[in-house]
Structure 1
Amino acid sequence: MSANSWDDYAEGWDSNSDVVTYSERAFQSLADTIDFKGARILDFGCGTGLLTERLSAQAGSIVALDPSEKMISVLNAKQLDNVITIQSELTEELIKQNKHLQAGFDLIVASSALAFVPDYLETLRLLTQLLNENGQLVQWDWLKEAGDAGSGFSRDEIAHTFREAGLSGIRVSVPFSMDAGEGSMDVVMGVGSR
């Protein structure tokens, strides 16, 4: 999806109960896995900042990055003191030009964002270079089993691509599921360190 098509969802995003529940469960799975108190965090594909909001209470600082102007506008309206927003795609050029991305991060989170990038491996490589030594990257997306259509990732796909991007200590789990009409959809979580 393009940044403009995400703009269409911005206004009602925070009132969508499924979106809110997903962000709450992602946050809880993160809190159960990593101590991020005082951390410098990048929220990649932050959207309206539902996860950013939850993280900001314990984080030292957060850079929230999203290509959608309207999603970033909703997040800016929340006036979170320790959050800096960047409305852009992540590129090598942006990293070279933006001082907020050059300082390095203790933690990078990507909640339901990496399934929408044009090149998963290249994006992971860019994110990995933004991590401080021993920094961690955490990804949540829909779990895709063999033969599944649609977006998402298999456990093996995440583990393999994390390794290819230079991450180590890789753990892949299914921390929660979401109700989906006739059944439920599992969410896969990948964690890797630089």
Structure 2
Amino acid sequence: MAKSWDEYAADWDNEPSALLYADKAFESLQKIVDIQDLRVLDFGCGTGLLSQKLSPLVKDIVALDSSEAMIEQLDGKQLHNVEPVVDILTRGLVAMHPAFRHQFDLVVASSVCSFLPNYSDVADIVFSLLDKGKYFVHWDWFSEHNEAGAMTPTHVLQVLSSVGFDEVEVTTPFSIETPRGKSTVLMAIAKK
């Protein structure tokens, strides 16, 4: 039986490939978006490896993850401008939770979207959370053939364009050595 995300939480920050992924995602983000003083949603934040890098530079972060154990690890980092939320991203959450009372300047998702059963629905919700001219940037494992846990550029471009993003670009900014071998990361940059 597959492990739940809660079962990975305690050791996640000790996994070299997870640390490198967060480093490389942060570096690639800084090349395309000026993150100074932005209001950020870190969707599927896990233990907060990316939030931890963003925190000193941005205004504030809503860090959302469905795993309570992952959020507990994030809480232990005591990031002063990060508001952790344990939930899944739905229209109901957005309508009811006070953390979502304002629009975001940037939504990031690091190795999240390829695991979603409803990527198109979530992309539509993310679109609604952003102000005009702002960005949704996500990183996922690259695939040419819609493999489980990975995404194709064609699928990403189609979905993000169909929900209304004006500009969508998909790149492969880095590769990482993982326990399963070298894997390439896809980065989607969608501007509203």
Equivalent in the alignment of 1:107: 106
Equivalent in the alignment of 2:94: 95
Identity in percent: 36
Distance 2:66 2:129 in 1: 18
Equivalent in the alignment of 1:130: 129
Equivalent in the alignment of 1:40: 39
AA aligned to 2:95 is: K
Distance 1:96 1:142 in 2: 31
Gaps in structure 1 of 5+ consecutive residues? none
AA aligned to 1:158 is: V
Provide the aligned C-alpha RMSD in A.
1.7
Q: CA deviation at 1:77?
A: 1.1
Deviations 1:8-67 (A, max 9, x none): 000000011110000000000001111110000000000000000000010000000000
Deviations 1:81-139 (A, max 9, x none): 11001100111111110121120100000100111112010010011101112110001
Paired positions, count: 192
Q: Equivalences for 1:29-178 in 2 at 5 Å?
A: 29-146=28-145, 149-178=147-176
| Deviates most, 16-25 or 179-188 | 179-188
AA aligned to 1:149 is: E
Gaps in structure 2 of 5+ consecutive residues? none
Question: 2:144 is paired with a residue of what secondary structure?
Answer: coil
Contact 2:170 2:187 in 1 (8 A): yes
Distance 1:182 1:79 in 2: 32
- Do structure 1's residue 27 and structure 2's residue 26 form an aligned pair? yes
* TM-score, scaled relative to structure 1: 0.94
* TM-score, scaled relative to structure 2: 0.95
Residues 39 and 156 of structure 1, relative CA distance in 2, 3 Å threshold: same
Contact 2:141 2:186 in 1 (8 A): yes
AA aligned to 2:149 is: S
Question: 2:19 is paired with a residue of what secondary structure?
Answer: helix
Q: CA deviation at 1:181?
A: 5.9
